[in-house]
Amino acid sequence: MTTPTNSEHPADSSSDLPPLPPDAAPWQSAGYRDENARLLVSAIHRRRGALLIEFPDVPVQGYDVILPEEGPAGAITCSVLISLWRESELCRGTCPHCDGTALALAFGGTGESWFVVGVCPLCGSYVFRPSEKGALFAALAQSLEGWCFRLPTQSQLLLSNAHQHLALLAALRTLGEHLLPPDHYGFAASLPDAMRRWQSAAEQRIGIWSQRGAIIHAATGAHVEKNTATWPLLTDFVREFLLRTGTLPELDHAGPDGLDFSFPLSSQEPVSYRVEAPAADETPTNDVDYAADDDDDGEGSLQGLIDRLVTDWRAKRPIAESLARIQETLEESGDIHSGYDILGVFLGPKAMADAFAVIDDDVVRQALEITDRRVNQTQRIEFFEQHVLEGLLEDADVTRAFVPIVLESSDGESLQLVVGISGYSFTILEYEWHGPFEAEFDFAEWVRKEGWVETVEEFQQMGARRKAKLLG
Ligand SMILES: [Zn+2]
């Protein structure tokens, strides 16, 4: 049997793979497709033989490309993934949507509940198999018995999720592969449920990016008005891009009908979501008018709860119960985004301290070219500023976006709640509620005083003692 090298047959049956036992659990459908994931998995599959021989230690995903002599890569490597395709019945199986053989691409989950997430090289459907974490690791490790490959740790698997595939893409290009996803692509695997919840936070980001974005006619360079005809084109593009890649679009992108979508930010800058209020007649928004949500203005309605909360809060009476019910209602409706501005995407002191605690002095010594055997705290902080902080600021699993929600009572009094949102991909989206505050209370300023940062510069501008205190 020959190894197919012809790229016109990306979904070639897995001819060199042993047959699956008849009782192997089938893949379940995750309900969405991703063309870039399809390109990626079919290219790995086509080039699997050469990858095993020439690039066994290249990570499938992740920013850290560690040279083989420096130790195993910080993510699953090509050799491990391809071996698992061969040896593990958990890592391949018939696609529930077509005749393809879907192949595993990522592993992850939360708590004890883990998943193998795969992609069909024919149709691009995401598929998954649920498993208890310990059982999954045991099964995967057993499949690799007799091979000299080692599985990455659980946290390495989670940390590389949704990151780019730069090393792998470079390896595939070296092998002559051209049908590849773009460099910015990062396979974002998720629990089916978490993905749905993530999408509601994603909607907020999409709205803000669409408001910031300009539409330019590609042929003439003229600005095109954002109206009911062009707005959906823009938001659909941003939505699809975010869900496909796990990141927001950068700079210019070609849209349909000769339109270019231009975005003012590049991912090289820490992303800030503070935006100018759009002109009301120019940009349709999806503002949620909570006051109008309920026809029934009785005690149990959302407006009734808000009225009670505002009155009790102003009178300094207990508010815990109405506050909890309001938060619950907003969470259930999925309308935690208010249509108002996001305060910013901030990185918390704990996330910084956690990342600082695991810095390896040998790496610091090498990066800063320190000849002395000892590494001091100032040098570690310098390394943190130069090499760690920016990555943390871009990682949605550790940063937090704050969304203010203005609650307006029937008599026109208002308060704000603030919801902190963090985590995506394999991490269940976490919400943390703050408030109530006066409507004009500057929450962003308050979190800055607590040591949260929105940019690398904010951290750099702190005094040495403050930095040391924050990082523990
Ligand atoms: Zn398929």
Looking at 90-104, 180-194, 259-273, which range is the least confident one? 259-273
Q: How far is the CA of 213 from the centre of ligand 1 (A)?
A: 35
CA-wise closest residue to 123 among 140, 93, 153, 101: 101
Over residues 317-325, mean pLDDT: 91
Average pLDDT over residues 429-437: 83
Instruction: Reply yes or no on whether the pLDDT at 353 is more than 70.
Output: yes
Band of the pLDDT at 49, cuts 50, 70, 90? very high
Q: Where are the domains of the chain?
A: 28-198, 205-267, 336-472
Distance 29 CA to ligand 1 centre (A): 10
- Give the model's confidence band at 349: pLDDT under 50 very low, under 70 low, under 90 confident, else very high: very high
More confident position, 258 or 320: 320
Q: Looking at residue 45, what is its pLDDT?
A: 95
Model pLDDT, residue 2:
38
- Going edge to edge, which strands form the sheet with 28-33? 28-33, 125-132, 113-119, 101-110, 92-94
What residues flank ion ligand 1 with Cβ within 5 A?
A: 95, 97-98, 100, 120, 122-123, 125
Percent of the chain past pLDDT 90, that is, above it, reads 26
The pLDDT of residue 116 is 92
The strand order across the sheet containing 214-217 reads 223-224, 214-217, 259-262, 253-254
Give the tokens for residue 66: 């560690």
Angle (deg, nearest 10), helices 35-46 and 78-87: 80
- pLDDT-based confidence at 420, cuts 50/70/90? confident
Q: Is the pLDDT of residue 13 over 60?
A: no
179, pLDDT greater than 50: yes
Which one of 28-37, 232-241, 409-418 scores highest in mean pLDDT? 409-418
Kindly give the distance from the C-alpha atom of residue 231 to the centroid of ligand 1, in angstroms, as a whole number: 32
Q: How far is the CA of 468 from the centre of ligand 1 (A)?
A: 52
31 CA distance to ligand 1 centroid (A)? 11
CA of residue 9 to ligand 1 center, whole Å: 14
Q: pLDDT category, 163, cuts 50, 70, 90?
A: confident
Q: How confident is the model at residue 104, as a pLDDT?
A: 95
Number of C-alpha atoms within 13 angstroms, CB side, residue 400?
A: 22
103-146 pLDDT, tens digit each: 999 988 877 888 899 999 998 888 899 989 889 999 999 988 88
Distance 234 CA to ligand 1 centre (A): 29
Return the beta strands (E) in 125-248 as ranges: 125-132, 214-217, 223-224
64 vs 445 pLDDT, higher one: 445
From the CA of 57, how far away is ligand 1's center (Å)?
A: 28
Q: How far is the CA of 121 from the centre of ligand 1 (A)?
A: 7
CA of residue 445 to ligand 1 center, whole Å: 49
- What distance in angstroms lies between residue 448's CA and the mean position of ligand 1's atoms? 48
Q: What is the model's pLDDT at position 333? A: 61
Other C-beta atoms lying within 10 Å of the C-beta of residue 93: 22
State in Å: Cα 261 to ligand 1 middle: 31
326 contacts: CB under 8 Å, gap ≥ 6: 302, 305, 306, 309, 407, 417
Rounded to the nearest angstrom, the distance between the alpha carbon of 245 and the centre of ligand 1 is 19
How remote is the CA of residue 241 from the centroid of ligand 1, in Å? Answer: 21
Ligand 1 center to residue 168 CA distance, Å? Answer: 23
CA of 115 to the centre of ligand 1 (A): 19
Most confident by average pLDDT, 208-222, 238-252, 326-340? 208-222
| Of residues 14 and 380, more confidently modeled | 380
* 175 CA to centre of ligand 1 in angstroms: 25
pLDDT at residue 237, as a whole number: 79
User: What is the pLDDT of the chain when averaged over all its residues?
Assistant: 76
- pLDDT at residue 416 above 70? yes
Q: How far is the CA of 49 from the centre of ligand 1 (A)?
A: 23
pLDDT higher at 201 or 470: 470
Instruction: Tell me what pLDDT residue 254 has.
Output: 66
Distance 244 CA to ligand 1 centre (A): 17
Mean pLDDT of 67-92: 78
Per-residue confidence band for 288, with pLDDT thresholds at 50, 70 and 90: very low
Distance 118 CA to ligand 1 centre (A): 10
Is the confidence at residue 425, as pLDDT, over 60?
Answer: no
Check whether 269 has a pLDDT greater than 50.
Answer: no
Q: Average pLDDT in the 203-209 region?
A: 68
Distance 189 CA to ligand 1 centre (A): 17
Give me the pLDDT at residue 201, please: 56
Say whether pLDDT at 82 is over 90.
Answer: yes
Average pLDDT for 41-53: 94
Task: Report how far ligand 1's centroid is from the alpha carbon of 260 (Å).
Answer: 32
- CA 99 to ligand 1 centroid distance, Å: 6
Gap from CA of 102 to ligand 1 centroid (Å): 7
Cβ atoms of 107 and 118 within 8 Å: the answer is no
- What three-state secondary structure class fits 255? coil
Cβ-Cβ contacts under 8 Å for 234 (sequence gap 6 or more): 210, 213, 215, 226, 255, 261
Inform me whether the pLDDT recorded for 447 exceeds 60. yes
pLDDT at 175 over 90: yes
- For ligand 1, the distance from its centroid to the CA atom of residue 101, given in whole angstroms, is 7
**Distance (Å) from CA 28 to ligand 1 centroid:** 11
State in Å: Cα 40 to ligand 1 middle.
14
Distance 45 CA to ligand 1 centre (A): 14
Measure the CA–CA gap between 312 and 413, rounded to whole angstroms. Answer: 12
pLDDT of residue 148: 75
